[in-house]
Amino acid sequence: MSQAPSAIGRPLPRQDALAKVAGKARYVDDLALPGMVHGKALRSPHPHARIRSINTAKARACPGVVAVLTAQDIPGANSIGPIIKDQPVLCSDVVRYVGDPVALVAAETEAAAEAALARIEVDYEILEPVLDPIRALERDAPAVQPNGNIGSHFKVRRGDVQKAFSEAAVVIQRRFFTPRIEHAYMEPEAALAAADGEGGIVVYSSTQYAHRDREEVSRMLGLPQSRVRVRQMTTGGGFGGKLSPHAQCYAALLAWKSGRPVKLRYRRDESMIASYKRHPYVTDMKLAAGRDGKIVAIEATFVGDTGAYLLEGRAVITKSVTHAAGPYFIPNIKADGYAVYTNTVPCGAFRGYGVPQAAFALESLMDELAGRLAIDPIELRIRNGLDTTCPTSTGQILRASVPFKQMLGRAKVAAESLRPLLQQAPEGRRRAIGVGCSTRSIGSIRTPSRSTAVVSLHRDGSITVACGSVDIGQGSDIMMAQVAAEELGASVERVEVISNDTAIAPDCESTSASRVTYVSGNAVRMAAAKVRARVLGLAAQDLGCAPGDLKLMDGVVLYREQGMSLAQLFAKHTFHIITDIAEFIPDTSPLDPETGQGSPAGTYSFSVHLALVEVDQGTGQPRVLRYITFSDAGRTINPMTAAGQVHGGVAMGIGYALMEQLHLDQGVTNSSFATYLIPTALDIPQEVPVEFVEDPEPTGPFGAKGFAEGSLDPAAAAIANAVSNAIGIRIERLPMTGERIYELLHPPQPSL
Amino acid sequence: MSEFGKIRATINGQTYDLSVALNETLLELLRYRLALTGTKSGCETGDCGACTVLVSGKAVNSCLVLAVEIDGASVTTIEGLSAGGELHPLQQAFIDHGAVQCGFCAPGIIMAAKSLLDEEPRPSEEEIRTAIAGNLCRCTGYLSIVKAIAAAAEVLRGGDKR
């Protein structure tokens, strides 16, 4: 064990913060290469149509144009996707949503490329679209995909819900609606690609998974992966929305075919119309309990509109279904989820990944149940909360690090502290408190994902960590530096982390699923431990003692009063560098397709949020006045970045709860930040206290488990419960805009 | 095809004589012609604030300003904020308070904050939030940003808060 002051638990600023505040950080659009041209994509204006022909002659003749490409120009596979590869790079026969890509242009300037796009002639035969998921399930609905409109179905079965419902003291059920929403990362999609002059290609990417970018580009171009290098640039946000490398593939295809470097960046409206979104859900949920408040059964049906392509729809639905019971023990479960195709913009990964939708429904019913049984809402949750003795909905018993009831206890105290504010509502306004809770499995839900890390110790004691989990702003790089520093007794400032280059960092799968701290953090710690063992083994030989007698600190191996510097040790044994590699994959078992039972994750994280809202009865406008959070990351490696996650997740939750909704006519109509509103500095309460209840996860790096999406999962639920309490009417639909609340408060009078 | 105009402007203390297209925006001029890529392009319709710079001391969305409009004016971008390699207190405060995550909004918000602090050295929290209400951030939830701006204001007033 090292003796240096612990690197774990320190709120260290991230290593790239200086470059970012100085304007020196390099995002894709900050790059320029000699001979670079600009790419643009032509997209379908129709939600459903057959392509009869594409005539590019006039576009080719436009000034400054160097390439005009269609599907037939793709040398390899014409399909990409983060999990299910069912989205064409370029459509060849059918377009399935407004925004589906049809052709590409590269030209000397962006203006020239846009002008050429307008000269591409596509002859469409318009087909009947289906724009609503309930309609899409009807027998005679138009087929979006050849095998019908159900893209995926997943279920969980445990016990006998019908029997439990018939015997229960209270049964409640409702239908809930959650909207299709936009990630709204501040940096729109962008990619720069250039042939490397040696038969390969380099892609500079804004991405959550550089190695997948490499895989998809290599498949599309028919190149071996070893000939494709992807360099993740500083990435301006992702939130799940940069997991499918469409921009990267367009840029790479244009670069490959034109022989020029190509930069392709999406306009903001293009990003809002064409890139994938959060699944809107229609959720039917039924909950039953005994008089004592113990929940006996849950029945849930989630219908998620996955849009034109499945992408990650199967996994999102699986996450919702396996999390339908939330952070509670419910003995009888019948849950079904459907990812349904429609001719709308595809839906995919988005922070929360099906849990926010499920939490909104469940937490609303929990509050309704509490009201019916006259039990305090937090007390009801304590009575039903998971702990280390009872199984999750998939039958997994979490043997450690389940601080949920403790967090609820803290929330009870916090709710009391908010009560005086309830009396201070001005005239014409109503205030109320709401609670929202959630749990989520850490890591991908259907197949476990592995991280691989390489740690190198240099003879001056400095360290290089090569681990391909990219940092997209959330702070994973500094986390890995802290883990390596801790294991090797070094100061964090002497650790270099390289996560952004497929030529250097091993594939660690995606930055998603709240997995990086747990999975990649573990891989880094294990690799560093191997290096440490080798160093101490060598030193022990030289000093004639056992490795366990030695300490490694600040580049020196210490034995009693003696010290041997790494430089000395390395020189003696002819090492310039000691490097080792480790892989970590969580200990899981697969989900049974008939019952949904299994152990899909190595650990689960819990969240408890409290919201105090004020509703203006005159306008209906709700406002979040106070917001208190309790989060569970096991041991928190960096409290500063962890708090940042909470604040960001809560802000996103306020948006989801109160203002965000994409409107579709045939395609997205509100495609700017003037018409798609996300929270500003004026929409966030004065403070959002962040408390991490630390119950270490034994299988995590230094007890850490990560938590990321837990910052958002219960937020809309907490705010909805608060609004429901304020107006005395159960909220069934998000977002809770002023207009909607007004209509609930002033229902239209029946005409005579 | 664009026509051109000649302008003379001081950008980050350096005077430029430039021939610019009449439909070229200040944002395009900065990023693509002058390679001052610290100022970001987030929407190009004036809704997100990522492109905020100071023109004659006033915060503007540079995507909504034509390059020809800065003739005779002085412009400050994020690159011009660190004099002689030393960070401006706003920049240091953003680092210290965890107000930087993906960083894409940071240059624009820092410039908006500078404009506020130049005018109002003792801003209330409300005034800070209002000053950056036109700058969207999707990562931080704004709280650490507001704290950082307040801390920088204190440093600029001569207080010791680092």
Q: A27-39, pLDDT tens digit by residue? A: 999 999 999 999 9
Rounded mean pLDDT, A247-267? 98
B131 min Cα distance to partner chain A (Å): 9
B45 min Cα distance to partner chain A (Å): 8
Q: Are A677 and A571 in contact (CB under 8 A)?
A: no
Residue A739 has pLDDT above 80, yes or no: yes
Strand partners for A218: none
Nearest to B38 among A23, A188, A646 (CB): A23
At residue A533, the pLDDT reads 97
> How do residues A640-668 score in pLDDT, each as one tens digit?
999 999 999 999 999 999 999 999 999 99
Cβ distance of A681 and B50 shorter than 8 Å: no
Interface A:B, Cβ pairs < 8 A = 173
Residue B3 has pLDDT above 90, yes or no: no
Q: String of b and e for B122-137 (b: at least 16 CB within 10 Å)?
A: ebeeeebbebbebbbb
Tokens matching residue A366: 């929990």
B8 min Cα distance to partner chain A (Å): 24
**Which chain A residues have a beta carbon less than 8 Å from that of B50?**
186
Cβ distance of A649 and B141 shorter than 8 Å: yes
Q: What is the C-alpha to C-alpha distance for residues B82 and B60, in angstroms, rounded to an integer?
A: 20
Residue A443 has pLDDT above 60, yes or no: yes
At residue A5, the pLDDT reads 62
**Which chain B residues have a beta carbon less than 8 Å from that of A626?**
none
Nearest to B139 among A29, A234, A473 (CB): A473
Cβ distance of B87 and A25 shorter than 8 Å: no
Three-class DSSP category at A199: coil
Q: Report phi then psi at A725, rounded to 5.
A: -65, -35
A141 DSSP 8-state letter:
S
Q: What is the C-alpha to C-alpha distance for residues A54 and A171, in angstroms, rounded to an integer?
A: 58
At residue A81, the pLDDT reads 86
Residue B162 has pLDDT above 80, yes or no: no
Q: Which of A15, A21, A493, A675 to mutate to test the interface with B (most CBs of B within 10 A)?
A: A21
> How do residues A688-699 score in pLDDT, each as one tens digit?
999 999 999 999
How sure is the predictor about A497, in pLDDT bands with cuts at 50, 70 and 90?
very high
Rounded mean pLDDT, A203-232? 98
The bridge status of strand B74-76 relative to strand B4-11 is: parallel
Residue of A nearest to B111 (CA): A21
Q: Which of B124, B138, B144, B147 to mutate to test the interface with A (most CBs of A within 10 A)?
A: B138
**Which chain B residues have a beta carbon less than 8 Å from that of A37?**
none
At residue A648, the pLDDT reads 98
**Which chain B residues have a beta carbon less than 8 Å from that of A26?**
37
What average pLDDT does chain A have? 96
At residue A83, the pLDDT reads 83
Nearest to A681 among B90, B102, B132 (CB): B132
Cβ distance of B40 and A239 shorter than 8 Å: no
Tokens matching residue B88: 């401006």
Residue A500 has pLDDT above 70, yes or no: yes
Q: Global pTM?
A: 0.97
**Which chain B residues have a beta carbon less than 8 Å from that of A19?**
103
**Which chain B residues have a beta carbon less than 8 Å from that of A234?**
102-103
At residue B160, the pLDDT reads 55
**Which chain B residues have a beta carbon less than 8 Å from that of A644?**
98, 101, 139-141, 144
Rounded mean pLDDT, A62-75? 98
Rounded mean pLDDT, B24-29? 98
**Which chain A residues have a beta carbon less than 8 Å from that of B144?**
643-644, 647
Tokens matching residue A258: 């034109």
Cβ distance of B139 and A11 shorter than 8 Å: no
Cβ distance of B45 and A25 shorter than 8 Å: no
Residue A98 has pLDDT above 60, yes or no: yes
**Which chain A residues have a beta carbon less than 8 Å from that of B128?**
681
Give DSSP secondary structure letters for A619-644. Answer: T--EEEEEEEEEE--BS-S-HHHHHH
Nearest to B133 among A29, A673, A680 (CB): A680
Three-class DSSP category at A212: helix
Of all residues in chain A, the percent with pLDDT exceeding 90 is 96
Question: Comparing A407 with A749, which gets the higher pLDDT?
Answer: A407
User: What number of helices (H) and strands (E) belong to chain A?
Assistant: 18, 26
Q: What is the C-alpha to C-alpha distance for residues B88 and B93, in angstroms, rounded to an integer?
A: 9
Residue of B nearest to A24 (CA): B38
Strand partners for B15: B10
> How do residues A145-155 score in pLDDT, each as one tens digit?
999 999 999 99
Strand partners for A42: A103
Cβ distance of A648 and B101 shorter than 8 Å: yes
Distances (CA, A) of A271 to A246, A668, A670, A684: 11, 10, 12, 26
Angle at which helices B106-119 and B143-156 pack, to 10 degrees? 40
Give DSSP secondary structure letters for A704-742. Answer: B---GGGGTTTHHHHHHHHHHHHHTS---BS---HHHHH
Q: What is the C-alpha to C-alpha distance for residues A636 and A632, in angstroms, rounded to an integer?
A: 8
At residue A1, the pLDDT reads 42
Residue A4 has pLDDT above 60, yes or no: no
Q: What is the C-alpha to C-alpha distance for residues A94 and A105, in angstroms, rounded to an integer?
A: 20
The bridge status of strand A262-265 relative to strand A37-43 is: parallel
Nearest to A673 among B136, B139, B143 (CB): B136
Torsion of CA A738, A740, A743, A745, to 10 degrees: -70
Q: Are A96 and A144 in contact (CB under 8 A)?
A: yes
**Which chain B residues have a beta carbon less than 8 Å from that of A17?**
94-95, 100, 103
Cβ distance of A672 and B143 shorter than 8 Å: no
Residue A587 has pLDDT above 80, yes or no: yes
Q: Report phi then psi at A236, rounded to 5.
A: -85, 60
Rounded mean pLDDT, A100-109? 98
Nearest to B95 among A13, A641, A680 (CB): A13
For tokens 């960070």, name the residue.
B87
Three-class DSSP category at A715: helix
At residue B2, the pLDDT reads 56
Residue of B nearest to A18 (CA): B95
B40 min Cα distance to partner chain A (Å): 8
Cβ distance of B39 and A23 shorter than 8 Å: yes
At residue A3, the pLDDT reads 46
**Which chain A residues have a beta carbon less than 8 Å from that of B140?**
644, 647-648, 651
User: What number of helices (H) and strands (E) belong to chain B?
Assistant: 5, 5
A520 DSSP 8-state letter:
I
Alpha helices in A663-704 (DSSP H): none
Radius of gyration of chain A (CA): 27
Residue B1 has pLDDT above 80, yes or no: no
Cβ distance of B103 and A239 shorter than 8 Å: no
**Which chain B residues have a beta carbon less than 8 Å from that of A628?**
none
How sure is the predictor about A173, in pLDDT bands with cuts at 50, 70 and 90?
very high
Cβ distance of B44 and A267 shorter than 8 Å: yes
Q: What distance, in Å, lies between the first and last C-alpha atoms of chain B?
A: 52
**Which chain B residues have a beta carbon less than 8 Å from that of A673?**
43, 45, 47-48, 136
Peptide bond into A698 cis (omega under 30): no
Cβ distance of B100 and A20 shorter than 8 Å: yes
Nearest to A647 among B87, B107, B143 (CB): B143
Q: Report phi then psi at A248, rounded to 5.
A: -60, -40
Q: Report phi then psi at B48, rounded to 5.
A: -110, -20
Instruction: Identify the CA nearest to B11 among candidates B121, B107, B3, B31.
Output: B31
**Which chain A residues have a beta carbon less than 8 Å from that of B98?**
11, 13, 640-641, 643-644
Q: What is the C-alpha to C-alpha distance for residues B144 and B135, in angstroms, rounded to an integer?
A: 14
How sure is the predictor about A749, in pLDDT bands with cuts at 50, 70 and 90?
confident
